[in-house]
A and B are shown apart, each in its own frame.
Chain A
Amino acid sequence: DAGVIQSPRHEVTEMGQEVTLRCKPISGHDYLFWYRQTMMRGLELLIYFNNNVPIDDSGMPEDRFSAKMPNASFSTLKIQPSEPRDSAVYFCASSPGTAYGYTFGSGTRLTVV
């Protein structure tokens, strides 16, 4: 298996633009997580899905952020409009379930200028 695949690896965008981050989880993993990591705030859980259904989105910072999982093999995290404070590394992770660890993607480094 190729692991969790995230794209793009790097994204530089101007403030106000829409940004879409993509994630392909490992086949057979029922859980998918979106995390954000910054120096100031550390690793933050934004949202997670179980069997394509959002379970907890309490970590989504504001309405500018949205996430979807239209099928078991694809998820997106969208920021519209983007702001400089959204600059961070965004990780996607998947897991077979509670008793298992996460497999993280390589992350998307987002820079909003």
Chain B
Amino acid sequence: AQKVTQAQTEISVVEKEDVTLDCVYETRDTTYYLFWYKQPPSGELVFLIRRNSFDEQNEISGRYSWNFQKSTSSFNFTITASQVVDSAVYFCALSSFNTNAGKSTFGDGTTLTVKP
């Protein structure tokens, strides 16, 4: 069975603080994919990033960075110098070819509030 755990239900920070959203996953498959999605207060769900299990390179996109560590089964998301516009619910997800191919398992989400 696959599982994604986002232990932080809610996080509140003040603007310009750095914040890390944790994601821990479980899978028996050796080939899998990890994703992050953002759901701002407007409600739409937006795909942010995909990583495959063979690529442990960290990725940086502007103020966003992702740290993938197979040794700890984690795929954490860091926002540097947070802004009010980063306030959203963030979901981590996992998919693999061998378990329910095509379908992603989502975490419960972390609600991030960035205060001015």
Contacts and interface: CB of A to CB of B under 8 A. Distances in A.
Given A98-B96, A104-B44, A31 B102 contact: yes
Interface string A72-108: 0000000000000000010101010111111110110
Contacts of B103: 31, 33, 45, 48, 55-56
B12 interface: no
B33 A99 contact: yes
Contact of A48 (B45, B102, B108, B109): B102
A43 interface: yes
Contacts of A97: 101-102
Nearest to A103: B47
Given A101-B35, A104-B45, A107-B44, A56 B91 contact: no
Interface residues of B, number: 23
Contacts, number: 60
B47 A98 contact: no
Contact of B43 (A31, A89, A102): A89
Interface in B22-59: 33, 35, 37, 43-47, 50, 52
Contacts of A11: none
Candidate in B91, B95, B97, B102 with the most chain A CB atoms within 10 angstroms: B102
Given A101-B47, A102-B47, 7 more contacts: A42-B109, A98-B96, A98-B101, A100-B33, A101-B50, A104-B45, A106-B44
Interface of A: 30-31, 33, 42-43, 45, 48, 50, 55-56, 89, 91, 93, 95, 97-104, 106-107
Interface of B: 33, 35, 37, 43-47, 50, 52, 91, 93, 95-97, 100-104, 106, 108-109
